Amino acid sequence: MGCRAGVVGRRRVSVRAAPPRQLVPFAPRRNLLIARLRLSIVVAALAALVWPTLSSPQTRVAPDAVVAVLGIATEIVPIERALADAVTRTIGGIVFTEGRLSGRRVVAGRSGIGKVNTAIAATMVIEHFTPAALFFSGTAGALDPALGPGDVIIASAIAQHDVGLMTPSGLTRRPTRSYLPGGANPLFFPAADELLEAARRVATRVALKPLQAHRAPVVREATIVTGDVFVADTHRRDELRALGAAAVEMEGGAMAQVCWHYKVPCLVVRSITDSADGSASDRYQQFLAGASENAAMLVTAAIVELGAAR
């Protein structure tokens, strides 16, 4: 080590130079990051394997119980029109229409676009109307190339595709967090059995509206993914399809998380408008009205079926 001479007052002193800084090897830190990344991948993979064993809230929907339906403004209109003796009111800026469907009290709420708006609407409809079940009726982009405009997807499970850990290698998806004691959320929220069964029973009976001359619409049961982006890119579409999902939308996963928190049975029903590719925006506008009608047709039939199945 070297030293440095100096003068303090009239006395000569020597000040030793600081020892060279010891560099901490980068490898241990890098290895730790890699280990954490691998752990997150394992956690996400295990969650994806475990979700089919998890049950959504299972409470019987009594004939006199309230059922609620959410949808963005343009998609919920067919539900609103189907209600008899309808009364509309606004709570916290959200429009709710309350009426009767085959004798059952039904509340239709305009959720707004995206996950946050939907979470707000779902919370408000649960807190103000205490529904025994909650549906989401609307449209989606197809991830599966076999699907076309007007086809209806009954979501057997739904996940939020934009939640997770972002690294240079991409997004590692993780379940949403629950801060309730012991309240872990699944990566994929499963549909409520009773609502799913009702939708299955009416699937073969509803007369869906053909949106293209060369094909009749079909009803399929499949996984849907939700995110706060309108997907109009083939690369992104194919990436989401690799998750095992058939369709993508922007609201259903948020409603499912709120319902999981409140233990309210729920089901998401979507009708296809586009193929989530470069033409998605134009085709969404082209098929929005017809697809909204098809989704609403199945939802209203399923609600009626809940009462008839007693």
Question: Which pLDDT tens digit goes with each residue over 147-181?
Answer: 999 999 999 999 998 776 666 766 665 666 655 55
pLDDT value for 171: 61
Q: In the structure, what pLDDT confidence band is assigned to residue 186 with cuts at 50, 70 and 90?
A: confident
State the pLDDT at residue 101. Answer: 97
- Residue 17 in any domain: the answer is no
78: in domain: no
Question: Is residue 114 in some structural domain?
Answer: no
The predicted structure's pLDDT at residue 169: 67
Mean pLDDT of the chain: 83
CB proximity list for 48: less than 8 A, separation 6 or greater: 187, 188
- Is the Cβ–Cβ distance between 57 and 196 less than 8 Å? no
Residue 7 falls inside a structural domain:
no
How many domains does the structure of the chain reveal? Answer: 1
Per-residue CA distances from 293 to 77, 81, 98, 139, 282 (Å): 9, 11, 19, 10, 18
CATH code where residue 269 lies: 3.40.50.1580
- Under the banding of pLDDT at 50, 70 and 90, the label for residue 245 is very high
Instruction: Establish if 268 belongs to a structural domain.
Output: yes
pLDDT tens per residue across span 13-72: 444 544 544 444 444 444 544 444 444 434 444 444 444 444 555 557 787 799 999 999
In the three-class reduction of DSSP (H, G, I as helix; E, B as strand; rest coil), residue 12 is classed as strand
Instruction: Decide if 248 is inside a domain.
Output: yes
Spatial contact of 222 and 144, defined as CB atoms under 8 Å apart: yes
* Residue 247 placed within a domain: yes
β-sheet bridge partners, residue 295:
none
Crossing angle of the two packed helices 193-203 and 280-308, in degrees rounded to 10: 100
Res. 185: pLDDT tops 70:
yes
What is the number of other CB atoms lying within 10 angstroms of the CB of residue 128? 16
212 vs 297: CA distance, rounded Å? 18
Does 296 reside within a domain? yes
Domain span at 226: 138-308
Residue 87 pLDDT more than 50? yes
